[in-house]
Amino acid sequence: MEESISAVEDSLNQLALGNSANRPRRHDIAGPGVYLAHMQAASYDQGVSGFKTYTAALGSFRFHVYLFSTDTGQLLSVIEANRLGQLRTGAATGVSVRHMARSDSSTVGLLGTGFQASAQLEGVCRVRSIAEVKVYSPTAEHRVAFASRMAETLDVKVTPVDSPREAVEAADILITVTASRTPVFDGKWLRPGTHVAAVGGANEYVRELDDECVQRADLLVVDDLAQAKIECGELLMPASRGLIMWEQVRELWQVVSGAVPGRRFDDDVTIFKSLGMALWDIAVAKVVYDKAVAQGVGAMMGN
């Protein structure tokens, strides 16, 4: 996770310098609930470009990253990327917390215990000294099992709670990483100074955050504005009704580079909406590739 956080953070700094490029995700629909997604990026300072592709079918996803040399055009690697996707997404949340959450943040509220949740919590715990996590999932057995597993993994107090409100009201840092199509908490529950990382949902008809939450934000940040204007329901829905303006939305590279302050006051409510960038995939894939070559693992491919 530490390597992934460094790779993602560096990729955003390089984006600020004009040393990389990122293209929004596109979906090709193959049937009801079946599609192929594709997203691509180039990292000139790292000498690599590539793309991630994934399929959705029968309720499951399969991810692969293809990495190329920008010097020769050679295909360097094909990486099965389900775990890589967890790492880069958790790392991006960690980067947002490093630059946008209060430095004294010590409590985390976590809504959701699915595939991405563990890496989200790990990413946060790598950049802040977390004393307690309160986790909610609609299924009691899931939240209890998750709390037990993550308390042991991260050596942090993780408490399952019986309602979203208990997790939200206690949080300095709130992570939403659910499969819900509708808001998962009331924005009035947020206490001043909270940093929200909204990770679930990448669809214009889906949102984890309600209008109240979005309107309370002193700083709204997305990973990629062009992509957000296509598939970020949390912002598309209120923007369509004039509740927010796209002109007030910033990108994470602006915050990481220092062009935009991550927060001005301790009481600011800050929001990072994570949709996922191919640039993060390429950055973390390059770390994996370099380690694989150094350790002599993986199947070598011909030219």
Which residues are the active-site residues? 52
Burial class of residue 259 (count of CB atoms within 10 Å of its CB; 0-12, 13-18, 19+): exposed
Which residue in 277, 254, 285, 296 sits closest to 47, CA to CA?
285
Backbone angles phi, psi at 48, to 5 degrees: -135, 155
Which residue in 248, 257, 204, 206 sits closest to 227, CA to CA?
204
The sign of the dihedral angle between the CA atoms of 290, 293, 298, 303 is positive
Q: Identity (one letter) of the amino acid at 58?
A: L
H/E run at residue 98: helix 82-100
The separation between CA 149 and the C-alpha centre of its own chain, rounded to angstroms, equals: 21
CA distance 241 to 149: 42
H/E run at residue 164: helix 164-169
CA distance 277 to 56: 18
SS3 content of the chain, % helix, strand, coil (to 5): 40, 25, 35
> Given its phi and psi angles, is residue 161 left (phi above 0), alpha (psi -120 to 50 degrees) or beta?
beta
Give the tokens for residue 146.
Answer: 């998750």
Q: Where are the beta strands (DSSP E) in 140-210?
A: 157-160, 173-176, 195-198
